[in-house]
Amino acid sequence: MLTPGTPAPDFTLADQDGTIHTLQEYRGRRVVLYFYPKDNTAGCSQQASGFNELLEQFGTKNATIVGISKDSTASHRKFADKYGLKFTLLADPELQAIQAYDVWHEKKMFGKVSKGVVRTTYIIDENGLIIAAAEKVKAAANPLQTLALL
């Protein structure tokens, strides 16, 4: 996990509509950059819905929500439509940002070891510096806890 005070790595990724985004385009705003394992799973759906419900409150704090997983843009589109998500979901199938932000780790589930995304949230300031980082966050609690950090 990257630590506060570290410059946030830039990325170039497509969103759920195929539009390309970079971290640079968010300069002047805070960014809540959250990494999640997979679209349409229970925890990830809870987390995304929580951020969506608090979207206006994040806006009052000059913060933009951006979610990243290794799912495809098509998967992100279905996920966003299903839950009425009004924020950007970036597809990272090549693990560009996932590895740059050090969230790709070995995980154990039901005795099986595999590599995957560790649910992690970064808050990036208006100048592109990481000001907060939370690893292995609880999906349901993460949106409200992140808002409190801002």
Catalytic residue set: 44
Q: Which of 57, 37, 58 is nearest to 47 (CA)?
A: 37
C-alpha Rg value of the chain to the nearest Å:
14
Distance, in Å, from the CA atom of 44 to the CA atom of 85, rounded to the nearest integer, reads: 12
Cβ atoms of 79 and 71 closer than 8 Å: yes
Residue with tokens 């951020």: 51
